[in-house]
Amino acid sequence: MTNIKPLYDRVVLKRLEEDERTASGIIIPDTAKEKPQRGIIIAVGEGTRREDGSIIALTVQVGDMVLFGKWSGTEIKLDGQELLVMKESDIIAIVENKIADKKAA
């Protein structure tokens, strides 16, 4: 994959595919599917620049799983992959995986 470095407070992410079946086993056709609102961050910018020239670093990091708004970002296609570029402020939350903690309890 080509290296991509977003500018300022932008991030590049790859959408995570949602299940193709409902909980009861019904297969959802492509025409009825909504675009996923979860993704994995694959690149981050350096941050927002203050008036004095200092940089405010981003909260998200490469590898974070995040939730974002339905209409957030700009879709791009790079090296055959569909990616999404958005500002960090369009990200709603970072998803922390606590499955391992629940199994240990």
The CB-side HSE value for 13 (13 A sphere, CA atoms) comes to: 29
> What confidence score (pLDDT) does residue 40 get?
93
- pTM for the whole thing? 0.72
The CATH fold of domain 10-17+31-104 = 10 Kd Chaperonin, Protein Cpn10; Chain O (2.30.33)
The residues, any chain, with a CB within 8 Å of residue 69's CB and separated by 6 or more, are: 37, 90, 92
Residue 23 pLDDT class (50, 70, 90 cuts): low
Rounded Cα distance, 92 and 105, in Å: 29
> What confidence score (pLDDT) does residue 29 get?
56
> What confidence score (pLDDT) does residue 103 get?
47
pLDDT in tens, 59-101: 999 999 999 988 888 899 988 888 999 999 999 999 987 654 4
> What confidence score (pLDDT) does residue 31 get?
54
Domain ranges in the chain are 10-17+31-104
